A and B are shown apart, each in its own frame.
With several copies, the nearest count.
Chain A
Amino acid sequence: MNQITESSPAPDAPLPGGPLLEVRDLSCERDERVLFAGLSFVVDCGTVLQIAGSNGSGKTTLLRILCGLNDGYDGEIIWRGESTDDTAESFVGDLLYFGHRVGVNKILTPLENLRWSAGMQRTVNDQLLLDALAAVGLRGFEESPCYTLSAGQQQRVSLARLRLSPATLWVLDEPFTTLDVDAVAQLEQTLADHARQGGAVIVTTHHKLTMPSLSRLTLGMS
């Protein structure tokens, strides 16, 4: 069980002291099956890390471990030089997690959903929210309850959070599912922009991503 990291050239912006996130010798087993072991990698500001791997190779598990949502692991996760256990609060304030379940309440409208989910991380006003919704192609649906939206539109509501988030590190679990081709291209652009502006992205997807400063980590090559 080993991993291949094919890094593209490092971003040219100099890093302010040490990497943003460093993972050292991480291993995890579930139900007696080793998902990954001795996993070490570094995520710097300005980079996008794609976690690849076949179904069941442990991508979702890895992301949830990184965010502190799972704790069945061995190894160290270091955030700006300190273990995430010690920096929990500051770490979480600078992190955006987007999971298989997208965090959109079906009864509320997109606007009301964002008002809460974005508002938990930063102060917002309605104009900002409306702009973000328009940017993900939901103009005209701001006030429809989310249960009337299609699968892809619900996904977009949640993706609007990306445009509002003050977090440096984005951790995205298959954000491209159910999106149409335009939306996929647009989301790739958003990720690239975030990296260019000094943020960092960890993303799982079975898509082939092409963007500058992308590196890839493939799980479960045995």
Chain B
Amino acid sequence: MWLWFAKLGSPKWFYELSSKWLPWLVVATVLVIGTATVWALLFLPPDYQQGYTSRILVVHVAVAGTSLAFFPLMAVAGTITLVWKMKLADMVAKNAAALGAWFSFITLATGSIWGSVSWGTWWEWSDSRLVSMLFQFFLLLGVVSLRSALEDSDKAAKACALLSIVGCINVVIIKYSVEWWNTLHQPASPVSLQTGSANGPEFWIATALMILGVYLFLSVSLILSTRNEILQRERRALWVQELVAAER
């Protein structure tokens, strides 16, 4: 167990292992996302209210679900960075923050687009999921900007790890308090995510596939960017130089 753990910490080991797995993951990602998209486009019946725009909800729900995973992921990676000083964890955390910000942004964007059709407004303050997602987005940007502000990469790793852990707790508190805040401010417009207008069984199958696909996509992008990071940070290591020589 410990041996495995120590091994996992070695960027070289990770690089080699991921080389083996990556092609399969990429194929799986393309397949799953492709199927889900085709399904959504071809087989999903148009919504009786919103017509074909309802299909964007498939993407929205999948991305929204996934973007909730980032802070826990970063907090775990951060703990590993702080306690075991494992470089790999920080590389993952660094890319996760940027990726998480993008995912949150896409959630906000797709949600807004869908909202503009189904509620007739792009943004509504009286929904707790919207507001807490917005603040999660801000926090992720905070982590990203802290990383870019700190010049020393070692320092940046630890500082961001700490911020991610504290931020993770905070995201939970924000979510809970915003929800509560909202139940007190009776929504003026009939706005709620639970209108359930689009959820037939086809919708849920497409969505489930899409969620799987997005998770796969997330892993692939994390692995790819981490590999990139490894090559950059270890560019003087023997094995990287051999690799580069072999490429030529």
A147 and chain B: residue at smallest CB distance: B151
B154 and chain A: residue at smallest CB distance: A72
Q: Which residues of A contact B154 (CB under 8 A)?
A: 72
Q: Does B236 contact A (CB under 8 A)?
A: yes
> Could you mark each residue 143-165 of chain A with 1 if its beta carbon is under 8 Å from any beta carbon of chain B, else 0?
00101100000000000000000
Q: For the complex, count residues of A whose C-beta is within 8 A of B.
A: 6
Q: How far is the CA of A32 from the CA of B153 in the complex (A)?
A: 12
Q: How far is the CA of A147 from the CA of B153 in the complex (A)?
A: 13
> Could you mark each residue 178-197 of chain A with 1 if its beta carbon is under 8 Å from any beta carbon of chain B, else 0?
00000000000000000000
Q: Is the CB of A32 within 8 A of B151?
A: no
B151 and chain A: residue at smallest CB distance: A147
Q: Which residues of B contact A107 (CB under 8 A)?
A: 151
Within 8 A of A (CB), among B144-161: 151, 154
Q: Is the CB of B236 within 8 A of A145?
A: no
Q: Which residues of B contact A32 (CB under 8 A)?
A: 236
Main secondary structure of the interface of A (DSSP, over half): loop
Q: How far is the CA of A217 from the CA of B174 in the complex (A)?
A: 55
Q: How far is the CA of A74 from the CA of B147 in the complex (A)?
A: 25
Tell me, rounded to whole Å, the shortest Cβ–Cβ distance linking A65 to chain B.
13
Within 8 A of B (CB), among A126-158: 145, 147-148
> Could you mark each residue 214-248 of chain B with 1 if its beta carbon is under 8 Å from any beta carbon of chain A, else 0?
00000000000000000000001000000000000
> Could you mark each residue 86-125 of chain A with 1 if its beta carbon is under 8 Å from any beta carbon of chain B, else 0?
0000000000000000000001000000000000000000
Within 8 A of A (CB), among B140-183: 151, 154
Tell me, rounded to whole Å, the shortest Cβ–Cβ distance linking B136 to chain A.
30
Tell me, rounded to whole Å, the shortest Cβ–Cβ distance linking B24 to chain A.
34
Within 8 A of B (CB), among A34-85: 72
Q: Which residues of A contact B236 (CB under 8 A)?
A: 32
B153 and chain A: residue at smallest CB distance: A31
Q: Which residues of A contact B151 (CB under 8 A)?
A: 107, 145, 147-148
Q: How far is the CA of A145 from the CA of B236 in the complex (A)?
A: 20
Q: How far is the CA of A32 from the CA of B236 in the complex (A)?
A: 8
Q: Which residues of B contact A145 (CB under 8 A)?
A: 151
A72 and chain B: residue at smallest CB distance: B154
Q: Which residues of B contact A148 (CB under 8 A)?
A: 151
Tell me, rounded to whole Å, the shortest Cβ–Cβ distance linking A59 to chain B.
18
B236 and chain A: residue at smallest CB distance: A32
A33 and chain B: residue at smallest CB distance: B236
Q: How far is the CA of A212 from the CA of B236 in the complex (A)?
A: 44
Q: How far is the CA of A148 from the CA of B154 in the complex (A)?
A: 13
B158 and chain A: residue at smallest CB distance: A71
Q: How far is the CA of A72 from the CA of B236 in the complex (A)?
A: 17
Q: Which residues of B contact A72 (CB under 8 A)?
A: 154
Tell me, rounded to whole Å, the shortest Cβ–Cβ distance linking A72 to chain B.
5
Tell me, rounded to whole Å, the shortest Cβ–Cβ distance linking B158 to chain A.
9
Q: How far is the CA of A72 from the CA of B154 in the complex (A)?
A: 8
Q: How far is the CA of A147 from the CA of B151 in the complex (A)?
A: 8
Q: How far is the CA of A148 from the CA of B150 in the complex (A)?
A: 12
Tell me, rounded to whole Å, the shortest Cβ–Cβ distance linking B237 to chain A.
10
Q: Which residues of B contact A147 (CB under 8 A)?
A: 151
B155 and chain A: residue at smallest CB distance: A72
Tell me, rounded to whole Å, the shortest Cβ–Cβ distance linking A149 to chain B.
12
Q: How far is the CA of A107 from the CA of B150 in the complex (A)?
A: 11
Q: How far is the CA of A32 from the CA of B232 in the complex (A)?
A: 11
Q: How far is the CA of A148 from the CA of B236 in the complex (A)?
A: 19
B233 and chain A: residue at smallest CB distance: A32
Q: How far is the CA of A72 from the CA of B87 in the complex (A)?
A: 12
A70 and chain B: residue at smallest CB distance: B154
Tell me, rounded to whole Å, the shortest Cβ–Cβ distance linking B242 to chain A.
17
Q: How far is the CA of A145 from the CA of B151 in the complex (A)?
A: 9
Q: How far is the CA of A147 from the CA of B156 in the complex (A)?
A: 15
Tell me, rounded to whole Å, the shortest Cβ–Cβ distance linking B244 to chain A.
15
Tell me, rounded to whole Å, the shortest Cβ–Cβ distance linking B238 to chain A.
14
A107 and chain B: residue at smallest CB distance: B151
The residues of B with any CB-CB pair to A shorter than 8 Å are: 151, 154, 236
Query: What are 6 A-B pairs with beta-carbon distances under 8 A?
Result: A32-B236, A72-B154, A107-B151, A145-B151, A147-B151, A148-B151
The residues of A with any CB-CB pair to B shorter than 8 Å are: 32, 72, 107, 145, 147-148
> Nearest 6 A-B pairs (CB), nearest first?
A32-B236, A147-B151, A72-B154, A145-B151, A107-B151, A148-B151
